[in-house]
Amino acid sequence: SSEISLRDIDRLANNSFPPCMRHLFEKLREDHHLKHGGRMQLSLFLKGVGLKLEDALTFWKAEFSQKVGTERFDKEYAYSIRHNYGKEGKRTDYTPYSCQKIISSTPGVGDHHGCPYRHFSEENLRAALTKMGVGGHAMDDIMQKVQTRHYQLACTLTFEAVHGISCDTGVNHPNQYFIESRKALE
């Protein structure tokens, strides 16, 4: 499988991350922190798209140390990153979350994980989609799918609007969204 480099991560986030991961990525850059659910959802996604463990540790440390200091990062957070990569504990190689799992999660106050189509207010969802370049009829069609609780179809329509191509398989996994996006853009 392919690798992604830290140098490219902001560009990739902007061009090829699905809304759920864009949101976590932006919040991490903004707040230099994510709560547990968000760390799990984003960290496993990044692992899945090919961010190597060493780069993952560099990436998370650069953000978290601005908030909690490097010592606390090393003590409290580095373990769980390594754990997600199967380097600690039971050494399970954890798989990135599917849409179904993310959609059925229950983010609380201050959490940023979950699926924007399911968990954002309409206003915040519209703003996030506008930022991705979605507008006009596409926006109406997407909001229609959200109203009928077809969140993955809403995400598929978003993919199609953003990339200008059809996505025949439909979106069922954030990592699949990423792979299809790279295929379309590279």
CA distances from 115 to 21, 112, 183 (A): 9, 9, 23
Q: At closest approach, how far in Å is the CB of 80 from ligand SF4?
A: 21
If one asks whether residue 20 binds ligand SF4 (CB under 6 A), the answer comes out as: yes
Nearer to ligand SF4, 78 or 129 (CB): 129
C-alpha angle with apex 94: 6 to 60, nearest 5 degrees? 30
| CA 89 – CA 95 distance, rounded (Å) | 15
Is the distance from CB of 10 to CB of 63 less than 8 angstroms?
no
If one asks whether residue 178 binds ligand SF4 (CB under 6 A), the answer comes out as: no
If one asks whether residue 18 binds ligand SF4 (CB under 6 A), the answer comes out as: yes
List the one residue from 155, 157, 161, 162 that touches ligand SF4 (CB under 6 A): 155
Tokens for 11, please give them: 């560009």
Which one of the spans 5-13, 69-77, 109-117, 139-147 is the region binding ligand SF4 (CB under 6 A)?
109-117
- What is the dihedral sign for C-alpha 45, 50, 53, 56? negative
The binding site for ligand SF4 (CB under 6 A) comprises 18-20, 99, 102-103, 115-117, 151-152, 155, 171, 174, 177
